[in-house]
Structure 1
């Protein structure tokens, strides 16, 4: 699934992660220690793209990171090449 940084409504593609497409609205990554206490929550939402040429907008599900949220904790995290 693609991963976007959501900065005050502006979304920028920063990479991809191995989050299944059937994931619910929140993806929980359990860290170390008690799984009930130490975990990171990621928002799964939709991103709309308008293709070049005036085609109809396309929607895709993606991980939406809040500012300062670490993408490195996502399973299979791969940053975009610079």
Structure 2
């Protein structure tokens, strides 16, 4: 069976985190996320993926936190409270 090849987009290979989710990651997980996202974007560009650079890539390159804004979440990371 011959299936037509579909074009892969950056959204297909990118995982978005809310600020709350990002705060739950430990430093090693955040570094791994940044490395993988940059590598995925680099691979897509190397095979001819031509659109404007995604915001998450700009944020990572500037050393900013790459989470997405979602209403209702706090502006800063807070420690997770344990149940007593």
Shorter-chain TM range is under 0.3
For the pair shown, the structure with the greater C-alpha radius of gyration is 2
Q: Normalising by structure 1, what TM-score?
A: 0.22
Larger % of helix: which? Answer: 2
Structure ranking higher on relative contact order (CA contacts 8 Å, 6+ apart): 2
